[in-house]
Structure 1
Amino acid sequence: MAQISNYGILAQLRADASHHIIRYKSGKMKQSGRGIVCWFRPETASIVEVPLDDREMSLFVKGRSADFQDVNVQGVLGWRVLEPEKLAERIDFTIGLQSGQYLKEPLERIETRLRGLINQAALQYLAEKHVRELLDLGVDPLREGIEAALASEQSLADIGIEIVNIRLDNLAPSSELQRALQTPTFEALQQKADEAVYERRAIAVEKERAIAENELVSKVELAKQEKQLIAEETGNAKDRAEGIAQAQQIESDAEANRIRVVDGAKAEAQKAQMDVYQGVAPAIILGLAAREFAQKLDRIEHLNITPDMVASLLKEFGGKSPPTPPLAAVE
């Protein structure tokens, strides 16, 4: 806003470069310019300050579609003043000469007029289409329709206003209708999510089956290897047993041969010994036997003498055999 300094009967005004100042004296324009500094007498002066910078205002339009559904539109409208003197003739931008503030609300009046024009264009567009079509088309056709309606509005050109831009952020139905419209999409997405979960589970089951098959194949392979190992160990044990048996057989055969050789040698020795005594008189042999008997007498515990033995002895010494007495035993 303009800065006003009072110096007695005179006052000085300093305006920003973005504001256009028009000074009237006695109802006549005395000075007009942008960002000017001027002196004036408060008793006879009237000053108008018109902003020239871009202005933005929020938009909210609540309309009804062709199928009688509530639709809300939100956005921002940018506008600016092209002809400040023409605008000052139609809308009061007078400022107080003490405070520098607007005496009325000119900017609010402009925004009210702009909102009315935008509402008219938006409501007409919404009423021509069904809510599903509006949502499918989005905000761009509505924005283009509002821009075309404002561009052709002669009342804005008459007051020197230009529309800079229109940005629509949202076009949505009521919350209840929005939930109803979202339900099929939500259900479809949920179904796809469920299918993804099922597919993921199926893949997991397939992987588990493959793992189980691999484990089973591994177990079968291990069983085959274990069977082969047992067969190898059995063969080795059999070979060891056969080797031990063969060794024992060889040892037994050697022992039998040794015994045969020893016994044969003993038999040959005894035969030779018997051959020595073959031509000796029986009395001598009996004496030798008695001597042998005497050497082993301390180790004899029992001696049995039968009549046959006595008869044999008498016969050897040439006598007749006496009658056979009863069997006697000497211990």
Structure 2
Amino acid sequence: MADITRRFGLRHLRSAPTAHIRHLRAGKVVHDGPGLSFWYRSLSAALSEIPVDDRELAMSFHARTADFQDVSTQATVTYRISDPVTAAARIDFSIDPDTGAWRGAPVEQLATLLTETAQQHALDVLARTPLAAALVDGVAAVRERIAAGLAAEPRLPATGIEVVAVRVVAIRPEAEVERALRTPARELIQQEADRATYERRAVAVERERTIAENELASQIELARREEQLVDQRGTNTRREAETKAAADGVRTEAEAARKVRLARAEAAAAREIGEARAQAQAAWLEVHGRTDPAVLHALAASRAAENLPRIESLTLSPDVLTGLLAKLGAGGPAPVATGRGER
């Protein structure tokens, strides 16, 4: 909207660069162009402000497909007024000389024109398209049809309107139909999710089976090694027993041999001792055979005295003493003395 100020009974208008201003006075054009700034009298001025910038027009309308399903279409049309003079001649863009506000609703009028035109072409396309095809390829088809229809509409150039672009945002069915259409896809997605879950579980079970087999193989290998260990221990124990038995046999044989040698040595020593004793006895007897009986009697008495108990007193009879002295003097054998000893 143009800025209008008052000074000394006059009005001053200052417009934006995107607004085309037409100033007529007494039916003649005084100012005509975008971004103007001028003074005027409000009682004699006829002003029009035509926007020349690109404008976005969002539209939403309902349609029915070939299979009698209601759908809602959301689209956006970008347009601009390419011929402001023609547009001002066909549509009322006049503004109040005092406030600068539009007297009517020219922008809404243009929006209605574009919306109805675009809706007509969109309905024509969707009425020949089934719901499934409309949801899959309907956006491109409707966009192309609306763009082609607006470009071929003769009223738009005659009004000075140029369509810059057409965009179709979405084509959606009713909520219940949309939920029904989503169900197969959701089921497929759920099936894929279940399949992935089952595959993951299968992989987990396979891995657990592999782990269990590895553990079992490890246990079998451990048992086999334990068996080998037991066998080796038994072999070692048997070898140790055999070695110990052999050692005991060798030790026993050595002990027996030692005892045999010892017995033989003892027998030889006893034999030699016996022979020595026999020789000594023979020598002793030979010596005693050559000795005088009286000496032998004296030696016997001496030996007997050595082995007799202690005698406190000895009584000799006169007969014994006389005969002993006679024999000693004659050199014959002395009579045996008899006596009684007391302790």
Category of TM-score, reference length = shorter chain: 0.7 to 0.9
Aligned residue number for residue 14 of structure 2:
14
Indicate conservation of the 8 Å contact 1:61/1:122, yes or no.
no
Moved more, 109-118 or 270-279: 270-279
Distance across 2 between alignment mates of 1:66 and 1:139: 16
Distance across 1 between alignment mates of 2:270 and 2:82: 161
Tell me how large the CA RMSD over aligned residues is: 2.1
Aligned residue number for residue 30 of structure 2:
30
Indicate conservation of the 8 Å contact 2:23/2:30, yes or no.
yes
Distance across 1 between alignment mates of 2:40 and 2:267: 173
Higher Rg: 2
**Within 5 Å, which residues of 2 pair with 1:193-212?**
193-212=193-212
Matched, 1:93 2:87: no
CA displacement 1:263-286 (0-9 Å, x = unmatched) = 2222233334444449868xx9xx
Indicate conservation of the 8 Å contact 2:125/2:141, yes or no.
no
Indicate conservation of the 8 Å contact 2:126/2:138, yes or no.
no
Aligned residue number for residue 174 of structure 2:
174
CA displacement 1:100-132 (0-9 Å, x = unmatched) = 111221101110111111111111111111111
Matched, 1:74 2:74: yes
Distance across 1 between alignment mates of 2:165 and 2:55: 10
How far did 1:78 drift? 0.6
Q: Secondary structure at the match of 1:23?
A: strand
Distance across 2 between alignment mates of 1:62 and 1:190: 32
CA displacement 1:269-313 (0-9 Å, x = unmatched) = 3334444449868xx9xxxxxx9xxx9xxxxxxxxxxxxxxxxxx
Q: Secondary structure at the match of 1:66?
A: coil
Distance across 2 between alignment mates of 1:152 and 1:269: 155
How far did 1:60 drift? 0.4
Distance across 2 between alignment mates of 1:135 and 1:273: 139
Distance across 2 between alignment mates of 1:17 and 1:184: 55
Q: Which amino acid is 2:33 matched to?
A: G
Indicate conservation of the 8 Å contact 1:93/1:106, yes or no.
yes
Distance across 2 between alignment mates of 1:14 and 1:262: 152
Q: Which amino acid is 2:67 matched to?
A: D
How far did 1:88 drift? 0.9
TM-score normalised to structure 1 length: 0.81
Indicate conservation of the 8 Å contact 1:21/1:48, yes or no.
yes
Distance across 1 between alignment mates of 2:9 and 2:266: 174
Listed as ranges, the gaps of 5+ residues in structure 2 are 289-302, 308-343
Q: Secondary structure at the match of 2:56?
A: strand
Aligned residue number for residue 214 of structure 2:
214
TM-score normalised to structure 2 length: 0.78
Listed as ranges, the gaps of 5+ residues in structure 1 are 285-290, 296-331
Q: Which amino acid is 2:127 matched to?
A: A
